[in-house]
Copies of this chain bind each other. A is one copy, B any other.
């Protein structure tokens, strides 16, 4: 296997936290033999409120390589690790997909929503899968969702430990604790590179067990006289289960609110992951018929997503349920980096309705992060004892913090490779170096389609949102002579009635541009651009704003 090389390409999940997708390529000499893909998740755009629902990884790089893709492996059922797969599955050549029980169920549901089909191989933890030259083994690990796995990937150049999102939870409320034996055994065998979750690298100590949160729920429920309302990620089945069990204990009926919450809990129930008696559930329509202290609402929207069930509650837009003084609302999740504003506004709106809102800044143990803190991360390093490190699933800040941790354990700083999206690393002859950079762009998804919203559309939406728009309609004859006065319409720019003089001036300016000039061939595109540029300059001088300018020339 001497002339084998391996290339690792993060198509997302680095710098960005979400939108996880990692590509392992095995080359024999210069010939690409096999590709393995780990995860294929959606991301959340940095620019909010521009009508983009989410972003998905850009897989252009894989366009002509579908025949080399041996499998897609999925680490766990969170959206940022699985939900882009239905969008890309066809283009990837419909490769085999490997996933654990709950993950499979969540992925299939995503495919169903889009009327797509997929076959998923449920993983056997005892088996080693030969996928091209890659040998893959899945092991139990703990995170904030059951059935999370890590992957031991044996390749011709060495062993890779793919350590996606995890914490070391010794008392997981559901499922097994981490498989320490297989992890350390792999470490003893020799690990060339550890890819590790790094999102918690700035936090000291060990991350709290999920179980601790369950105890907190009981304490809070006991003290609450009104409705008990909890919001968390709808994929956090363990958390939801603990809350539901506490509700049963205190005789509160449970209502799941929000589409994703209803769908995920339905799937989890299907496979016995939510063993709650049927009679403990209530429909949203019936909430008002029960005394507040007999109700527990589990509501989607902990990140303040604008169309979520919780935001609707905060805005009094839900006909069935109203937030009242005495209600307790528990945010059992931290804001994803970038979502802070939305989350804190939502908290404040709920407070204004008279609710008592608890969130992790004011109260400990409402939320246990799903991501390992410094000690969790150090344990994994000691268990696997790798030669190289690639921190994944974190921003630059988290990657740097992870690098510091690694050096504290006595490794050299340059054993850690900090990657940006599309930056590749090349392993050959047991060594690692940075390779060429693969170009990627954001692929935006909104309610109407995938990828038809590009960066330009977003830039336009952003300028519309801040400065408004101006449309100039020019009606000309075949020789580009104006047949009537230009018409200027604006929206969101200035109050037109008060600015009639300015718009009249703008019209005169357009007239002067359109005036035929001797000996010049007039080109429609050029005129459009000239008019637009002049208007932009004109309005900026007058108002200091840059509305989006649309020039429409109608030739008769």
Residues of A within 8 A of B (CB): 170-171, 177-178, 180-181, 183-185, 187-188, 205-206, 375, 378-379, 381-383, 408-410
Contact = CB atoms under 8 A, between A and B. Distances in A.
Contact of A170 (B181, B205, B379): B379
B378 A170 contact: yes
A408 B375 CA distance: 21
Contacts of A206: 205-206, 375
Complex A-B, nearest 4 residue pairs according to Cβ-Cβ distance, in ascending order: A181-B184, A180-B184, A181-B188, A170-B378
A410 B170 CA distance: 11
A408 B171 contact: yes
Interface centre among A180, A183, A206, A375 (most CB of B within 10 A): A180
Nearest to A179: B184
Given A185-B185, A206-B375, 10 more contacts: A170-B379, A170-B409, A171-B378, A171-B408, A180-B187, A180-B382, A181-B187, A205-B205, A375-B375, A379-B379
A171 B375 contact: no
A8 B375 CA distance: 35
How many copies altogether? 2
Contacts of A178: 382
Contacts of A409: 170-171
Residue with the highest number of chain B CB atoms closer than 10 Å, among A177, A187, A188: A177
A102 B409 CA distance: 24
B181 A185 contact: yes
A466 B183 CA distance: 61
Contacts of A188: 181
Contact of A383 (B180, B375, B378, B410): B180
Contacts of A177: 382
Contacts of A180: 180, 184, 187, 382-383
A177 B411 CA distance: 14
Contacts of A408: 171
12 contacts: A170-B379, A170-B382, A171-B408, A171-B409, A180-B180, A181-B184, A181-B185, A183-B184, A184-B185, A206-B206, A375-B375, A379-B379
A410 B184 CA distance: 24
A47 to B, nearest CB: 40
Contacts of A185: 181, 184-185
A54 B187 CA distance: 45
A204 to B, nearest CB: 10
Contacts of A183: 184
A181 B180 CA distance: 8
A381 B383 CA distance: 16
A185 B171 CA distance: 20
A71 to B, nearest CB: 28
**Most B CB within 10 A of own CB, among A181, A205, A378, A382:** A181
A453 B171 CA distance: 50
Nearest to A379: B170
Contacts of A381: 170
A171 B205 contact: no
A378 B169 CA distance: 10
A206 B181 CA distance: 21
A382 B375 CA distance: 16
Contacts of A383: 180
A177 B410 CA distance: 12
A168 to B, nearest CB: 8
A98 to B, nearest CB: 24
Nearest to A378: B170
A43 B67 CA distance: 72
A163 to B, nearest CB: 15
Nearest to A381: B170
A486 B462 CA distance: 112
A378 B177 CA distance: 11
Contact of A375 (B170, B181, B378, B410): B170
